[in-house]
Structure 1
Amino acid sequence: MKQAVMEKPGSIRFETVAETPPGPGEVQIRVRQIGICGSDIHVWHGSHPFTPYPVIQGHEFMGTVEAIGPGVDTPPPLGAKVTALPQIVCGQCNPCRKGRFNICENLRVRGFQADGCGRELYNIPAERLVILPDDFTADQGAFVEPVSVAVHACKRAGDLAGRNVVVLGAGTIGNLIAQVAKARGAAKVLITDVADYRLDVARRCGVDHAVNTSRESLEDATEAAFGPGGFDLAFEAAGVEASLRSVVKAIEKGGLVLIVGVYGKPPVVDMSIVGEHEIVLAGSMMYWREDWEAAVQLLASSVSIAPLVSRHLPFDEWPDAYRFIDANGPSIMKVMVDL
């Protein structure tokens, strides 16, 4: 089989290796499509702090069941469309014992600290498998992982019914958070960015208000969108200090700011405002299995992904996918690699 190995930042080697049958408790997947996310790009640039080299990338994907190893209690049908959770957890630490394996003390993620799905055949424990509807497209299957990030973040925020919500950052994750928040009953959703293209995509996905904060302040934007009702919930998905600082100033007293973005360096926040206004800053990390199951349902019903797919490239051109992303920056969204 063919696989892609990132030997070092900016260098992917394609190689042909012997096929390995699935081991006990494993299912073998024939990979059909892989989505590239922001963290993958950090690995390409050598700026991901927790990824050693060499590594096989890939964690957003769709494939079909090719073979089933011994000892799988409930084997899926051969040929079934599937994806899989990428976390490898210890099951022994305090978070794991509390059922919060997404923040396992010894967490490893396939595609980063362990090899991912960037190969034709991918063996994975059957317990990590997520069965997809027969009518799912490859794009839908590859989007289950990022939609799960949005589902988990929205779940962390509690009941969204009737609330005004701000999402800072209109990249793929911010866009999906905005869509999921609306699907979960948010009254109005405002999304911000400094890239007009991403804001236009958000509008095409049905987001209520999309504002370029390089031209309009967050305070003015929220006043226009929400009026005197204001907002008490924000998702920071840009990973930018200025974005976080602005939302801490603009959110209603007692409000909740959920951090979903990844920061290249520690941001500086005015903690006197956080303290005096009783603002809650909380994090959101990856997802649970039930988030994946909810993501599948949302993709089958209400979440729009067609406007988010910017380009498809064949497996052999994976390095060109990164070059395309680097060259086009904020004028693209999701790039897919097809096997």
Structure 2
Amino acid sequence: MKMIQAVMTNPGIINFNEVEVPEVKKHEIKIKVKNIGVCGSDIHVNHGKHPYTSYPVVQGHEISGKVTEVGAEVDHIQVGDKVTIQPQVVCGECYLCKNGMYHVCENLKVMGFQTTGMASEFFVVDANKATILPEGMTWEEGAMVEPLAVAIHAVQRTNTLDNKNILVIGGGPIGNLVAQTAKAMGAKKVVVSELSASRLDIAEKCGLKTINSNEESLTEGIKRHFGDEKADVIFECVGSSYTVAKSIEIARKGSTIVMVGVVSDLTEVNMGFVQDHELTLLGSAMYQSNDFDKAVELIKNKKIELNRLITNRVEFTNYLDAYSIIDNQKDKVMKVMIEMI
């Protein structure tokens, strides 16, 4: 049996190859891929700027699919189930894997970057990578479970958000989802700071308060929303040196900053300020299975608005158009969804 697979042979070049569908081993499942979301890391690969990806590479790590075959030893998944896939490939042998932190495995590979991704008609994968989706969940919602899991993992890096004031710097897809998750998980007030008018509009339509950083400073916006209490937790979801430094500068004494954005350059941090203000700095990377389960729960219970985040849809055979849309429309675009043939 053959299938079509999208292969990025070099930055900005995708070939559609006809390849054999892998055989399903006893512990594996085969899925027919339905939707693929495009994220910021994919864009870095398209531009040849991802530090840990070489070519050729098959992309695709935010997906939904329908199970079409199960291996002989798989008993918790059935043909016809809707699923999404947790895309980490871990060694299971390093200290981190053996101590509950497999998501930052010393030998971590991620589908679509260091190993084969899911940009193909069918995908064969170890059954324990699959998260079953409720029957009523749409394929697009299923493909949004992965980025929502990123947000959930970031929010759960803090002890609790109960009765806390939350500031999210950056209103892109991850920042928006972090803010929505914080609100859904008990925060007192959640505010998103963003430059893009369209992203601010989407945030407000998702029920979030906003700061337009073109019109007022973060200090002014924090005062307007939170008063003298300021923010208890700041989530940095941009990943620029400026916003990292700014997060520390505007933090209230004794508050927490969670670094969610991927920072590609070296950043100067005022550690004297961190020490004197007794700030807590936390990193957040990827997710675990329980984050996927929580994402499914929040979507199922309609606690997260996803449809407003999907701004563009592209057919699988026009894969590169997704990147053109993102490059040319920039801040007007949130999530581009690839629709399979």
Shorter-chain-normalised TM-score: which range? over 0.9
2:286 alignment partner in structure 1:
286
Identity %: 41
2:96 alignment partner in structure 1:
95
Partner deviation per Cα, 1:55-101 (whole Å, 9 max, x = no partner): 100000000001112322x2412111101100000111111111110
Shift, 1:117, TM fit: 0.5
Pairing 1:243–2:234 present:
no
Partner deviation per Cα, 1:244-303 (whole Å, 9 max, x = no partner): 222211111121101000112122222211111111111001101010000001111210
3-state SS in 2 of match to 1:156? coil
**1:68 touches 1:75 (CA, 8 Å); kept in 2?**
no
3-state SS in 2 of match to 1:17? strand
2:222 alignment partner in structure 1:
222
3-state SS in 2 of match to 1:92? coil
CA–CA separation in structure 1 for the residues paired with 2:148 and 2:21: 31
**1:232 touches 1:253 (CA, 8 Å); kept in 2?**
no
Q: Which amino acid aligns with 2:241?
A: E
Q: Which amino acid aligns with 1:315?
A: F
Pairing 1:161–2:162 present:
yes
CA–CA separation in structure 2 for the residues paired with 1:263 and 1:159: 25
3-state SS in 2 of match to 1:239? coil
What does 1:7-86 correspond to in 2, within 5 Å? 7-72=9-74, 74-86=75-87
Shift, 1:21, TM fit: 2.0
Q: Which amino acid aligns with 2:298?
A: L
When structure 1 is superposed on structure 2, of 163-172 and 189-198 the one drifting more is: 189-198
CA–CA separation in structure 2 for the residues paired with 1:75 and 1:262: 35
Shift, 1:193, TM fit: 1.3
3-state SS in 1 of match to 2:20? coil
Pairing 1:334–2:335 present:
yes
Shift, 1:114, TM fit: 0.3
Q: Which amino acid aligns with 2:248?
A: V
Partner deviation per Cα, 1:24-80 (whole Å, 9 max, x = no partner): 3110010000000000000000110001111100000000001112322x2412111
CA–CA separation in structure 2 for the residues paired with 1:56 and 1:80: 24
Shift, 1:232, TM fit: 1.9
CA–CA separation in structure 2 for the residues paired with 1:318 and 1:328: 16
Structure 1: which 4+ aligned runs deviate by more than 4 Å?
A: none
CA–CA separation in structure 2 for the residues paired with 1:296 and 1:278: 36
Unaligned regions of 5+ residues in structure 1, if any? Answer: none
**1:160 touches 1:186 (CA, 8 Å); kept in 2?**
yes
CA–CA separation in structure 2 for the residues paired with 1:116 and 1:24: 21
Partner deviation per Cα, 1:282-329 (whole Å, 9 max, x = no partner): 100110101000000111121001110111111000011111110000
CA–CA separation in structure 2 for the residues paired with 1:231 and 1:336: 34
When structure 1 is superposed on structure 2, of 77-86 and 243-252 the one drifting more is: 243-252
Q: Which amino acid aligns with 2:245?
A: R
1:261 alignment partner in structure 2:
261
Pairing 1:190–2:186 present:
no
Query: Size of the alignment, in residue pairs?
Result: 337
2:206 alignment partner in structure 1:
205
Unaligned regions of 5+ residues in structure 2, if any? Answer: none
Shift, 1:172, TM fit: 0.2
Q: Which amino acid aligns with 2:85?
A: A
**2:152 touches 2:291 (CA, 8 Å); kept in 1?**
yes
CA–CA separation in structure 2 for the residues paired with 1:53 and 1:24: 30
**2:70 touches 2:78 (CA, 8 Å); kept in 1?**
no
Partner deviation per Cα, 1:180-231 (whole Å, 9 max, x = no partner): 0000100001111111111111101111x21121321111100000012211
Shift, 1:338, TM fit: 0.6
Partner deviation per Cα, 1:85-139 (whole Å, 9 max, x = no partner): 0000011111111111011000000010001100001001001110000011011
Pairing 1:106–2:78 present:
no
CA–CA separation in structure 2 for the residues paired with 1:82 and 1:256: 35
**1:151 touches 1:291 (CA, 8 Å); kept in 2?**
yes
**2:194 touches 2:200 (CA, 8 Å); kept in 1?**
yes
2:132 alignment partner in structure 1:
131
TM-score between both structures, scaled by the size of structure 1: 0.98
Shift, 1:333, TM fit: 0.2
Q: Which amino acid aligns with 1:125?
A: D
Q: Which amino acid aligns with 1:111?
A: G
TM-score between both structures, scaled by the size of structure 2: 0.97
1:234 alignment partner in structure 2:
234
Pairing 1:5–2:24 present:
no
CA–CA separation in structure 2 for the residues paired with 1:310 and 1:333: 6
CA–CA separation in structure 1 for the residues paired with 2:89 and 2:305: 30
**1:255 touches 1:280 (CA, 8 Å); kept in 2?**
yes
3-state SS in 2 of match to 1:22? coil
